[in-house]
Structure 1
């Protein structure tokens, strides 16, 4: 049967969610994509849905989906790409269109090339031999970790003298978390600076429960770290990001923030918490998470193509 490709609209979010959950079941053993996550993606300010999204149909069956966005102002472009294993032809149609659009976007920014990144499960439904043939290669690996929670075991940890924790309750606190995020992640792989308004979209601020965002401070240095968590995923509680300024690392602040989040989720009745980590992270984060009982749920590769 022939393939029909058209742009996505916000009204397609439920169909896209169903496709992604079908792919989740194949790749990680169970569906873990929430409707609100897809809706947020489709509202990305760096994506024009008419030009930067693709739905591929076999009759009434959605078999592939792509979304492209750019907020670097330069050559870096990001894409999401999903395809059912029996319709690699549709996946190739979508990917070719995305590559052409990525190069167009980069050129609109005055760049001579597009550096495109795509995150894929290490055992994806996409046939990776097809994208290797197009010049794509793996440049990074991430692990999604998880940990069981227990209300009796996971209690709020005592904070040592001179260290304090506060919830993010005011606009000033949100601005401070943004500043801490930008500073603590500045040296991470693939980090792109984001202004406050774009960052608010990235963290889905309208839906975020800000009581699950905390700032850590010390008497001598003031605010030195933060943790952002969210409790709107059906599969598990989620720690979106945890960061500590370079000059304050090695003092146990990250571990305290992590245990505080475990306790908060356990108190809410959650039985599992998860997060993602760059396996090549040089801040010691993978070892920190392992010490606190987090284990591998699944792995994701960052694929890169340089288009000219």
Structure 2
């Protein structure tokens, strides 16, 4: 592999692959970027750990850290499956071309993995990142929305439809919830996740909250689920997954489960709840009907990699 700093760059920087031990430093970097852009951090520390320990990730090949002369983290890049990437540069180290080098490295890594296309999600408020991606040939193809609902008063919860029972998530529900959510997401996602990958980002996270995650059953079959996260010290709750089995939709099950989760968050002292959705799911109107509004939006940018070699 050619040194990614072979392009003109401050000589005081060096690079290496990430390790799991770098998770805290990476999270601090991401939090600094979010604080600069959004006014407050949004990414939980356990999400960074989950990303670094996903099945199939080879940190030696799929990550790159940029450190300054004081061994402080200035930027990083992460590529998953040769298809998705994340690039972050600390606010104190912007304007030096680090983002362009990391993006070029991500494209080279994706090509080595045999991918023909690479994508990255960027907040619409991050004009510099949007400009960089567009200058490299990326175009937006999916819109994502962060939705929120204020929980000043305890939400009311409708009764379940006939034949449907609702309870909180229990140990042993993991495989049924995986099957349910992946079946539902198959309608729009490009690739079905393995159980190990799904679990690492949901039920195995430290912030996963079974007592805030209602599930619906028809007999002994799980037909709906809301999987929630609770971050210590935050007054905001977060819904990670919402799914209803196709043959049980249009019965109000999703609305019921969401409001059950919102009520549980309220009872634990949370006064706001958020979730992400995007344009391919067709679920925006559902969330708006239960009282959620758009806080901000992002876009997924993609690029056909072609045969240009970029930074190797």
TM-score normalised by the chain length of structure 1: 0.86
1:1-308 aligned at under 5 Å gives the runs: 1-2=10-11, 3-60=13-70, 61-70=72-81, 77-84=83-90, 86-87=94-95, 89-106=97-114, 113-124=115-126, 126-150=128-152, 152-171=153-172, 173-188=173-188, 190-207=189-206, 208-218=208-218, 222-232=221-231, 234-235=233-234, 236-282=236-282, 285-308=283-306
4+ aligned runs moved over 6 Å, structure 1: none
RMSD of Structure 2 on Structure 1 (CA): 2.2
Deviations 1:103-154 (A, max 9, x none): 1112xxxxxx42212111112264333322322111111001111113x432
- Looking at structure 1, the residues matched to 137 and 103 of structure 2 have their Cα atoms a distance apart, in angstroms, of 12
CA contact (8 A) 2:47 2:201 kept: no
CA contact (8 A) 1:141 1:278 kept: yes
Q: Give the Å deviation of 1:215.
A: 2.1
TM-score normalised by the chain length of structure 2: 0.85
- Looking at structure 1, the residues matched to 221 and 24 of structure 2 have their Cα atoms a distance apart, in angstroms, of 44
The count of aligned residue pairs is 291
CA contact (8 A) 1:149 1:262 kept: yes
Q: Give the Å deviation of 1:66.
A: 0.8
In the alignment, structure 2 segments of 5+ residues that lack a partner are: 1-9, 307-312
Deviations 1:63-99 (A, max 9, x none): 22111111xxxxx611111124523511111111111
Q: Give the Å deviation of 1:161.
A: 3.3
- Looking at structure 1, the residues matched to 14 and 232 of structure 2 have their Cα atoms a distance apart, in angstroms, of 32
In the alignment, structure 1 segments of 5+ residues that lack a partner are: 71-75, 107-112
Q: Give the Å deviation of 1:155.
A: 4.1
